[in-house]
Chains A and B, each alone.
Chain A
Amino acid sequence: MAKYIIKRLGSAVISLFIITACIFLLLRLMPIEGYLGAGYEKMSPEVVQNQLRSLGLLDPVWVQLKNFYVNLFHGNLGISWIYRPNVPITDILAAKIPISISMGAAAMALALVVGLPLGVVMSRFKGGLPDKLGTSFIVLLNAVPVVVFYLIIQLYGSKIFGVPMLFSKTDWRTWILPTVCLSIGSIANYAMWMRRYMVDELNSDYVRLAMAKGVSRRNIMYHHVFRNAFVPMIQLLPASLLMTIMGSIYVESLFSVPGMGGLLVDVIKRQDNTMVQALVLIFATMGILGLLLGDLLMALADPRIKLTRGEDGR
């Protein structure tokens, strides 16, 4: 067990180092406009050279890479050039991260609160109307690109509930639609697997014995089947986390939520290289840590679980 954890940690760290190096080196291939800010066209070549030198962009690549890593360890992500000129990126992010995290956490909680009972109800009425409705919902969510659902929720959700389409910090009602959008993929995932595990448990011998003994169906469901089916659900958490993180790129910019996902889309459109670098780095780190967390949780929860993971939500 300890050996596995150490190996898994090592692989995550290696991945992190390689992906940061890749991000840094690849973004050096970009045109230099992204480092000079507005008014680039009017600068004379000497000014451009001077500015590049002062940024350290004319140093040998390995020196730049070393500086980049040193800065990273000091928590310094560089300075934005276009989005908000000459403002440290950490300052910009400090205002955005809390919103993203609270929305993501709310979405994941909502997914658990809705997805698990949905799966339980579907397995309880297996073959009946709730099961059929739920299954078609899940199939549709898996088949149709999720952006269609986001757009429909934004379009009709705002109309039906009389909620403003776009996010505003002061109005709590505007939190609802983006949170629902973020959680919808995870809801389908949870419900699908919960149903499957519940059905598996319901067909097992101990349930038949409990029924023969005359334990009430309700008791069997909630005290035996649900508890056993709940344990393997842990392995879905990282997939759900990833789905939420990657979904936030879409959702936050659709609803103009001032979080990191929306920011990423914004700075990509404006070609602000240092900002893109910092944000991609943060998203990659979160993804790597999420998967690591999931694998470790799984190893701790059930040592028998073969240490592989599905491709869901990636």
Chain B
Amino acid sequence: MVADMGLFGKSKVQKLGDSLTERLKGNLDGAAMTQAELDALDPSLFALAEYDAAAAERSGYSNYSYWKSTCRVFWKNRAARFLLFLLAALLIFTFIQPYLPNQKDDITIYYDQSTDLPLKNKLPGEEPGFFLGTNSIGQDLWARIWSGTRTSLFIGFVVALSQCIIGVGIGVLWGYVRKVDKFFTELYNIINNVPRTIILILISYILRPSLSTIIIAMCFVGWVPMSLLIRNQIVIIRDRDYNLASRCLGSSSLRIMVKNLLPYLVSIIMLQMALAVPAAITDEVFLTYIGLGLPLDMPSLGTLIIAGRAIITSAKLQYQLLFPCLSLSLVTVCFYVIGNAFADAADPKNHVN
């Protein structure tokens, strides 16, 4: 207080006090009600309340539903909502595109009717009917991109699904059955020490490059982080009281795992699946690039990008690289943003407004 006085001086403090008093007085005057307003109030507000037994017994209740709240929070995220629509449209279009009218085939080489030469390297719009032009041997780039996206999405979904099944299966066993905990932990330590890219390269090198091979290779490396995540969650909820009670009542381990534990993990599993799809698509591009992926005549985003990369030095033909890259980026961004928005929405902490 002494320091304050020194800093501001007596007159200033006095002034401040005066102005505060003035302000308070003004507030009180404004708050007072006129007689007319007082008359308008409902007299029942001032009557004694009857004793109501039912009202006294009423307990608090909120109609909270986990999934409804999750959807509501997710829906509020505008970017995620937009990308969800975009992804849905993309998925639908990818799968119906070959059945639409006026579509070219993705692996047919097209020839010029008058000269009988293949329609090589036509720029977008240069040749009627070829919306995105043609590639270096005369195939329709538009059809190839959609077909490639289809292949890549197929790989992504199959890998995500199988990773999820293997990862959840092993994760639940690892977390719930104590006997196998040590074994799986040691196994995890060994596998996790080796970078997954190396395992991916090794497995794909030994098997013959094909669609099924790269799916197998990706599944082999993909379940490890997934099962660790599931295991950690299971360990947390394994010994909660309701599981203890369930065990005392004689439920089998299988029933506890499937009925008591798994429903808790649905949101985690869904997030992991949403992120596994773009990861698999990225891995496909990588494997194809180092020569262990799909054969180059089979359209996928990886093979298209590599075909475009081969002619990167010609400035005119860069569209053959840019369009597949654009498609790849679009698909992966959609999954990434939607997955993360869903993870946020699935967290009950975000359900409170």
Contact = CB atoms under 8 A, between A and B. Distances in A.
Interface of A: 11-12, 14-16, 18-19, 22-23, 26-27, 29-30, 139-140, 142-148, 151-152, 154-155, 159, 165, 242, 245-246, 249-250, 253-254, 264-265, 268-269, 276, 280, 283-284, 287-288, 291-292, 311, 314
Contacts of B196: 314
Secondary structure call for the B interface: helix
8 closest A-B pairs (Cβ-Cβ)? Answer: A143-B336, A287-B195, A15-B193, A145-B282, A269-B291, A144-B329, A143-B333, A246-B197
A284 B195 contact: yes
A154 B309 CA distance: 10
B269 interface: no
Contact of A268 (B190, B292, B325): B292
A155 B318 contact: yes
A25 B115 CA distance: 56
A151 B325 CA distance: 9
A12 B197 CA distance: 18
Contacts of B332: 143-145
Interface string B253-285: 000000000000000000000000010011001
A101 B83 CA distance: 41
Contacts of A254: 309
Secondary structure call for the A interface: helix
Interface string B281-299: 1100110011110000000
B198 A283 contact: yes
Interface stretch (B43-51, B98-106, B162-170, B200-208): B200-208
25 contacts: A11-B189, A12-B193, A14-B190, A26-B202, A27-B205, A143-B336, A144-B329, A144-B332, A145-B329, A147-B286, A147-B305, A151-B321, A151-B325, A152-B325, A155-B321, A165-B312, A250-B289, A264-B201, A268-B201, A268-B205, A268-B291, A280-B202, A283-B198, A284-B195, A287-B193
B202 A11 contact: no
A245 B201 CA distance: 14
Given A147-B286, A151-B321, A276-B205, 15 more contacts: A15-B189, A15-B193, A30-B205, A140-B333, A143-B329, A146-B282, A155-B312, A242-B195, A246-B195, A253-B290, A269-B290, A269-B291, A280-B198, A280-B205, A288-B193
B190 A11 contact: yes
B33 interface: no
Interface in B44-61: none
A139 B83 CA distance: 15
B290 A265 contact: yes
A276 to B, nearest CB: 6
Nearest to A245: B195
Interface in B284-339: 285-286, 289-292, 305, 309, 312-313, 315, 318, 321, 325, 328-329, 332-333, 336-337
A276 B205 CA distance: 9
A144 B309 contact: no
Given A144-B329, A148-B328, A268-B205, A250 B195 contact: no
A171 to B, nearest CB: 17
A144 B333 contact: yes
A152 B312 CA distance: 10
B312 A11 contact: no
Nearest to A282: B198
B196 to A, nearest CB: 5
A12 B315 CA distance: 48
Nearest to B279: A145
Residue of B198, B281, B292, B313 with highest tally of chain A CB at under 10 A: B198
Nearest to B329: A144
Contacts of A291: 193
Contacts of B198: 19, 280, 283-284, 287
B194 A19 contact: yes
Nearest to B198: A284
B225 interface: yes
A156 to B, nearest CB: 10
